[in-house]
Amino acid sequence: MGLRKKRHEDAPAGPPHDWAVELHGVRRQYGRGGSAVHALRGIDLALPRGTFTAIMGPSGSGKSTFLQCAAGLDRPTAGTVHLGGTEITGLSENKLTALRRTRLGFVFQAFNLLPSLTVEQNVVLPMRLAGHRPDRRRAAEVLAQVGLADKARRRPGQLSGGQQQRVAIARALVTRPDVVFADEPTGALDTTTAAEILGLLRQAVDGLGSTVVMVTHDPAAAAWADRVLFLADGSIADRLERASAQQIAARMTALTAPAYAGAAA
């Protein structure tokens, strides 16, 4: 079986965990020598299956690089990444592409739907790309889960931004992936619509047992997560569990202005 059970230093005492995402000593360096940029400086973490994690941090702290490495879109310079128990760091490009299509879901700020396809065709696209027969019953099921049962035959251009992002979430969930990676999924939406989208991601975790990893700049968005990991200069500088938007915002302020926070303490 692909399942890999293993203890991690972050794990609570008790039975071994079923980790959806594991990073061990992950480094990502751009360039070499004196001009090298250390985007990730040694990330160690393990995220339990069926949980919602937010990644925050100042601009340039390594959030996008982290997501790309964790999702197999970029290769770390050093260290290993496991997804759903499979080490992806050594996989060939073909195997990695196949794994991304069948076992990962992606949600982006810009929705990234294909305008010429219907909503239903967009949702089953991951199945088609993986060479499987599109499962229309499954498409109807996930579209109902995101509240778009009646929009299957529409085109993305006929939907609001929030509805388009719902389609993107349905597409991300259609293969029942090990992990859904979301990069600023609410960045282009107003506050009310953003809350609906975050509620859907929360519901995917609580109701369907999905694992969600979301990069966000917004403390209110991060407050929907079970935990927030704060990146600073390529390292995990802090973490909060079950925190409020206020607590998260305060921690972000401390991270971005450490000298000021230190002087005020």
Ligand X SMILES: Nc1ncnc2c1ncn2[C@@H]1O[C@H](COP(=O)(O)OP(=O)(O)OP(=O)(O)O)[C@@H](O)[C@H]1O
Record the tokens describing residue 198, joined without a space: 């975050």
Structure tokens at 35: 């001009």
- Cβ nearer to Mg ion, comparing 19 with 111: 111
Instruction: For the CB of residue 257, give the shortest distance to ligand X in the complex, in Å.
Output: 16
Residue whose pair of structure tokens reads 């450490």 in the numeric block: 258
Q: Give 64 or 97: the residue with its C-beta nearer to Mg ion.
A: 64
Tell me the sheet residues that pair with 235. 232
Cβ-Cβ contacts under 8 Å for 229 (sequence gap 6 or more): 45, 53, 54, 55, 56, 236, 238, 239
Q: Could you say whether residue 163 binds ligand X (CB under 6 A)?
A: no
39 contributes a contact to ligand X by CB under 6 A: yes
Q: Which of 4, 27, 42, 64 binds ligand X (CB under 6 A)?
A: 64
Token pair recorded at residue 150: 């009646």
* 62/177 with CB nearer Mg ion: 62
Residue 236 CB, nearest approach to ligand X (Å): 13
Q: Is 185 one of the binding residues for ligand X (CB under 6 A)?
A: no
How is 8-52 classified by DSSP, letter by letter? -TTSPSSSPEEEEEEEEEEEEEES-GGG-EEEEEEEEEEEETT-E
50 interface partner picked from ligand X, Mg ion, none, CB below 5 to 8 A per type = none
Size of the site for ligand X (CB under 6 A): 11
Q: Does 42 bind ligand X (CB under 6 A)?
A: no
**By CB under 6 A, is residue 30 in contact with ligand X?**
yes
Q: In the complex with ligand X, which residue's Cβ is closer, 41 or 138?
A: 41
Residue of 22, 46, 48, 57 that binds ligand X (CB under 6 A): 57
For residue 216, state whether it binds ligand X (rule: CB under 6 A).
no
Q: Starting at the edge strand that comes first in sequence, how are the strands of the sheet with 227-232 ordered?
A: 104-108, 179-183, 212-215, 52-56, 227-232, 235-241
Binding site for ligand X (CB under 6 A): 30, 37, 39, 57, 59-65
